[in-house]
């Protein structure tokens, strides 16, 4: 073993001091809520404050009767009631059972530490995409080495999304809704011709591609008889109870050509992995409560549903949302969120899906599916 020269020892010593110094900096004292409000720059930090309720709107924080486990509010004093002195904390699904207000109402008044991104939530000073929650003083020093899980910045965020490009989480969802919600609504009859354009076979302009089957079929075979293709609602009409006279039922962003028989068999099933091979469309699987589309369109299906959840919000005809269930019945909900997120990753947008989005924007609805333009936004809204 070589002897170390005095110079090498000095270098090693300096490196050790440097490492120690950076470790100490990472484990710095948590920010106060006032500091967090003043530092809404997207950086990662741990914030210490008292739980003072659940935000339900920009200037509303409730202290009882919590509707869900999605958010809490922190302040520097447990008696604070002014929302301008609070920071609103997003609660990702993994933390809801332990830190959500509906499940844990006794958190009110407790002092806690939360590590996350200092960025707006509910259009209010916020802490988004947290990676750690702990009661004050119990935060292990090493926990702050976890890298922040902020979504990748949207590379080349186009001008259409200018008011959303710097946002994350619920603020991003709200901004995207404002951008996409005023589409031109088609009649259900107009949908026939629109699908002949949006889903045209790139190798045969006389045909459309059927979403689950993958079959190229003549555009002229649209109709309701065996062997025809018809208008598949990827978000089934019964999940919320909309019909084909309104904007939800005719929204091209979730309507696709499919064989009449296959469309009927898929019915109103939620989406999930598993089941037995579906005999009339190779690569698709089904069981009593779910449908698994072929690999090439798994991401397409997921992104259509993400679009629907953002486009149709409270105050519109229906508030459509996603959850992790496959037994949503007639509720305005679709699952299975965790699987849809996987499909979004494993089948990212390709040229055909992007072209479809562009045709809908240019020629029909004048709105876009944001998750085809930036599929990583899914991870910010549904962490
Ligand atoms: Ca695809
Ligand atoms: Ca919604």
* Distance between Cα 214 and ligand 1 center (Å): 11
Please, what are the averages of pLDDT over each run of 10 residues along the chain (383 residues)?
Answer: 46 39 53 93 93 92 91 95 94 86 89 92 90 75 39 64 95 98 97 98 97 98 98 98 96 98 98 98 98 98 98 96 97 98 97 97 97 97 97
In the 8-state DSSP scheme, what is residue 314?
B
**Partners of 133 in the beta sheet?**
114
* Distance between Cα 300 and ligand 1 center (Å): 5
* Distance between Cα 126 and ligand 2 center (Å): 21
Give the ligand at the shortest distance from the Cα of 375. 1
Per-residue pLDDT at 285: 98
Detail the DSSP E strand segments found in the chain.
44-57, 60-62, 71-75, 86-90, 111-117, 126-135, 200-201, 204-209, 216-218, 229-233, 255-259, 270-271, 276-277, 285-286, 290-292, 321-322, 333-334
- Alpha-carbon torsion 349, 350, 351, 353, what sign? negative
Per-residue pLDDT at 157: 83
* Distance between Cα 118 and ligand 1 center (Å): 34
* Distance between Cα 171 and ligand 1 center (Å): 28
Give the ligand at the shortest distance from the Cα of 173. 2
Give the ligand at the shortest distance from the Cα of 354. 1
* Distance between Cα 98 and ligand 2 center (Å): 25
* Distance between Cα 321 and ligand 2 center (Å): 5
* Distance between Cα 240 and ligand 1 center (Å): 26
Per-residue pLDDT at 96: 84
Per-residue pLDDT at 8: 46
* Distance between Cα 360 and ligand 2 center (Å): 21
- Within the chain, residue ranges assigned H as helices are 6-26, 33-38, 93-99, 169-180, 188-198, 260-266, 298-311, 337-346, 351-359, 370-373, 377-381
Contacts of 84 (CB under 8 A, 6+ apart): none
Q: Are 270 and 290 in contact (CB under 8 A)?
A: yes
> Phi then psi for 322, rounded to 5 degrees?
-110, 150
Per-residue pLDDT at 97: 82
How many residues are recorded in the chain? 383
Give the ligand at the shortest distance from the Cα of 310. 2
List Cα–Cα distances, 267 to 117, 188, 221, 290, in angstroms: 41, 19, 21, 10
The reported pTM is 0.62
* Distance between Cα 311 and ligand 2 center (Å): 6
| Largest distance between two CA atoms of the chain | 88
* Distance between Cα 246 and ligand 1 center (Å): 28
Give the ligand at the shortest distance from the Cα of 299. 1
Per-residue pLDDT at 95: 85
Give the ligand at the shortest distance from the Cα of 346. 1
In the chain, what are the domains?
33-149 (2.40.50.200), 169-381 (no CATH)
Helix count (H) and strand count (E) of the chain? 11, 17
Which among 358, 366, 376, 343 has a CA at the least distance from the CA of 172? 376
* Distance between Cα 347 and ligand 1 center (Å): 5
Give the ligand at the shortest distance from the Cα of 356. 1
User: Token pair of 9, please?
Assistant: 């020892």
* Distance between Cα 21 and ligand 1 center (Å): 47
* Distance between Cα 369 and ligand 1 center (Å): 14
* Distance between Cα 97 and ligand 1 center (Å): 34
Give the ligand at the shortest distance from the Cα of 294. 1
Task: Decide: helix, strand or coil at residue 82.
Answer: coil
Instruction: Say how far apart CA 323 and CA 226 lie, in whole Å.
Output: 34
Per-residue pLDDT at 154: 47
**Partners of 35 in the beta sheet?**
none
Give the ligand at the shortest distance from the Cα of 321. 2
* Distance between Cα 253 and ligand 1 center (Å): 14
* Distance between Cα 154 and ligand 1 center (Å): 20
Residue identified by tokens 């079929």 is: 217
Instruction: Say how far apart CA 58 and CA 170 lie, in whole Å.
Output: 11
* Distance between Cα 351 and ligand 1 center (Å): 9
């Amino acid at each position: 073993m070589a002897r170390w020269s005095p110079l090498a020892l000095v270098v090693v010593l300096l490196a050790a001091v440097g490492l120690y110094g950076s470790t100490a900096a990472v484990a710095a004292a948590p920010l106060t809520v006032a500091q967090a409000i003043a530092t809404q720059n997207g950086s990662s930090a741990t914030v210490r404050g008292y739980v003072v309720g659940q935000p339900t709107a920009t200037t509303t924080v409730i202290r009882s009767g919590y509707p869900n486990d999605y958010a809490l509010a922190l302040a520097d004093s447990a008696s604070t009631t002014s929302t301008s002195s609070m920071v609103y904390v997003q609660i990702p699904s993994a933390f809801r059972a332990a830190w959500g207000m509906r499940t844990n109402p006794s958190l009110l008044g407790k002092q806690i530490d939360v590590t996350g991104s200092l960025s707006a939530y509910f259009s209010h000073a916020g802490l988004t995409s947290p990676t750690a929650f702990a009661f004050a003083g119990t935060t292990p020093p090493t926990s702050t080495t976890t890298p922040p899980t902020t979504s990748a910045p949207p590379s080349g965020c186009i001008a259409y999304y200018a008011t959303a490009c710097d946002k994350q989480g619920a603020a991003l969802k709200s901004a995207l809704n404002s951008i996409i919600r005023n589409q031109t609504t088609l009649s259900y009859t107009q949908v026939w011709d629109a699908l002949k354009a949006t889903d045209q076979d790139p190798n045969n302009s006389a045909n459309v591609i059927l979403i689950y089957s993958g079959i190229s079929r003549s555009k002229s075979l649209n109709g309701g008889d065996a062997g025809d293709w018809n208008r598949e609602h990827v978000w089934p009409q019964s999940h919320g109870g909309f019909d084909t006279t309104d904007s939800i039922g005719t929204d091209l962003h979730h309507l696709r050509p499919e064989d009449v028989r296959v469309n009927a068999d898929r019915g109103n099933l939620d989406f999930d992995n598993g089941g037995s091979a579906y005999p009339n469309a190779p690569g698709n699987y089904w069981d009593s409560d779910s449908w698994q589309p072929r690999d090439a369109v798994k991401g397409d299906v997921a992104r259509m549903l993400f679009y629907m959840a953002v486009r149709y919000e409270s105050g519109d005809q229906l508030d459509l949302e996603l959850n992790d269930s496959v037994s949503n019945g007639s509720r305005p909900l679709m699952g299975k969120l965790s699987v849809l997120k996987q499909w979004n990753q494993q089948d990212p947008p390709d040229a055909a899906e992007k072209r479809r989005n562009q045709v809908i924007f240019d020629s029909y609805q004048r709105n876009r599916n944001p998750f085809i333009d930036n599929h990583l936004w899914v991870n910010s809204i549904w962490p």
